[in-house]
Amino acid sequence: MIGSTRLFTYLGFRLSGDLGKYTMYTYCHKRPVFFLKSPPLIPPTRRQIHQRNRFRLIGYLWRAQSPAQRALWEKLSQQSNARVTGYNLFLFWQLKQGTDYILTLIRHSGVDVFGTA
């Protein structure tokens, strides 16, 4: 296995995801759990492929924005006390077409990510 798991916790790492041939996560009481990665038994469905492609496209659209535009999304999230990142707001807006929600945050925070003011 991967040596002592206490070292990761001591260094401040929260274990989650795949590392080499292992999958890991943090169990209750901050106890790390490791197990061999298990490959999927069936290929992904069309719906799964569609969803993965949607997220991939939104990630591409986020990276295609200028640093100034991404900074506005981050500022909107901070100013509105939304407790999410600017990327999460952008993701919500793209996935749910939540323009009304974003416009409400803009109105309350004064940070206009759409440039409509």
pLDDT given for residue 66 in this prediction: 94
Decide if 34 contacts 1 (C-beta within 8 A): yes
pLDDT given for residue 1 in this prediction: 47
pLDDT given for residue 28 in this prediction: 72
Mean pLDDT in order along the chain per 10 residues (117 residues) = 56 70 77 80 95 95 95 92 90 88 89 79
pLDDT given for residue 23 in this prediction: 83
